Amino acid sequence: MWKIGNIKFNSKVVLAPMAGITSLSYREFNKGFGVAYSVSEMISDAGLMHRNKKTIEYLKTSKLDRPVALQLFGHDIDVTLNAIDFINNELKIDYDILDINLGCPVPKVVDSNSGSAWLKKPNELYKYIKSIVKHSPKPVTVKIRLGFTNKTINVFEVCKLMEKAGVAAIAIHARTREEYYSGHPHFDLIKDLGKQLKIPLIISGNIFTLDDAIKAIKITKAKAVMVARGSIGNPTLIKQIDTYYKTKKRIKDATQTQQINYCRKLAKMMIKEKGERTAITNLRAIAPKFFTKFKDAKKIRCEISQTIKNYKDLDEILDNLNK
Q: Which residues bind ligand FMN (CB under 6 A)?
A: 16-21, 41-42, 71, 101, 103-104, 143, 173, 181, 204-207, 226, 228-230
Kindly state the smallest distance separating residue 101's Cβ from ligand FMN, in Å.
5
Expressed in angstroms, the distance from the first to the final Cα of the chain is 44
Kindly state the smallest distance separating residue 144's Cβ from ligand FMN, in Å.
9
Based on CB atoms, which residue is closest to ligand FMN, 69 or 269?
69
Beta pairing class for 13-15 and 224-227: parallel
Paired residues of 70 in beta bridges = 98
Kindly state the smallest distance separating residue 238's Cβ from ligand FMN, in Å.
12
Task: Identify the three-state secondary structure at position 69.
Answer: strand
Based on CB atoms, which residue is closest to ligand FMN, 23 or 71?
71
Distance CA 59, CA 67 (A): 14
Kindly state the smallest distance separating residue 69's Cβ from ligand FMN, in Å.
10
Based on CB atoms, which residue is closest to ligand FMN, 219 or 321?
219
Kindly state the smallest distance separating residue 263's Cβ from ligand FMN, in Å.
18
Based on CB atoms, which residue is closest to ligand FMN, 43 or 84?
43
Kindly state the smallest distance separating residue 118's Cβ from ligand FMN, in Å.
12
Distance CA 220, CA 199 (A): 14
Q: Which of 302, 276, 278, 274 has its CA nearest to residue 288?
A: 302
Based on CB atoms, which residue is closest to ligand FMN, 176 or 204?
204
Distance CA 103, CA 105 (A): 6
Q: Which of 214, 247, 242, 232 has its CA nearest to residue 287?
A: 232
Beta carbons of 242 and 34 less than 8 angstroms apart: yes
3-state helix, strand, coil in the chain (%, to 5): 50, 15, 35
Based on CB atoms, which residue is closest to ligand FMN, 71 or 80?
71
Kindly state the smallest distance separating residue 17's Cβ from ligand FMN, in Å.
4
Kindly state the smallest distance separating residue 130's Cβ from ligand FMN, in Å.
20
Based on CB atoms, which residue is closest to ligand FMN, 80 or 317?
80
Helices (H), 10-76: 24-31, 45-49, 53-57
Based on CB atoms, which residue is closest to ligand FMN, 288 or 317?
288
DSSP classification of residue 88: I
Q: Which long-range contacts (CB under 8 A, 24 or more apart) does 153-158 make?
A: 153/189, 154/119, 154/122, 155/189, 155/190, 155/193, 156/190, 156/193, 157/122, 158/102, 158/119, 158/122, 158/125
